[in-house]
Amino acid sequence: MRKALIFLLIGLMGCASVQIPAYVKDKKPYTKRFYANYEQAYEALNKTLLDLGWEIEGTMDPAVYEQDSSSDLDEKKTLVLTHIRQTPLFIGTRYAKMNIFLRSKKKISEFEIRYVTVTSLLFKNFTSYRNDSAAERMFEYLDKTIKENK
């Protein structure tokens, strides 16, 4: 009984708190261009996120978080933020979040995916800005969705 109480107290005192900001930094982003106008690309992005199980937290102008040196009036830009996705693990929890930048000019659209995961174990958090398989799956689904809607 005493040992169980000691382990419980150690576990409670050693729990690491997790903080994931709404904006994901520009560390190792994934970028790909598609032949689609802004409306087609935006529709495909929404469908892709929902079909892959991501909830959209909000959309906004990227200028809210970043200063853009280009002042091209023909270019449309949108930043899509996702809700945090939580995955329970055996001895912790993994939290994942994505920011997707959509930049379109005429009939070419560029998607930039920024991905962050924080794995919280009992005493430590591990942060990663890479998930090659998730980004590749997202780009494949975007490509398929854009081709279907043309």
Strand partners, 108: 35, 105
Each residue's pLDDT tens digit, 55-85: 999 999 888 887 766 666 678 999 999 999 9
CATH class of 17-148: alpha beta
Of 49, 53, 118, residue with least CA distance to 78: 49
Q: Which residues contact 138 (CB under 8 A, 6 or more apart)?
A: 48, 52, 113
pTM of this structure? 0.82
Tokens of 105: 């000019």
Domains of the chain, by residue range, sit at 17-148
Residue 122: pLDDT band (50, 70, 90) is confident
Of 93, 94, 111, residue with least CA distance to 102: 111
Tokens of 44: 């495909």
Each residue's pLDDT tens digit, 38-49: 999 999 999 999
- State mean pLDDT over 48-55: 95
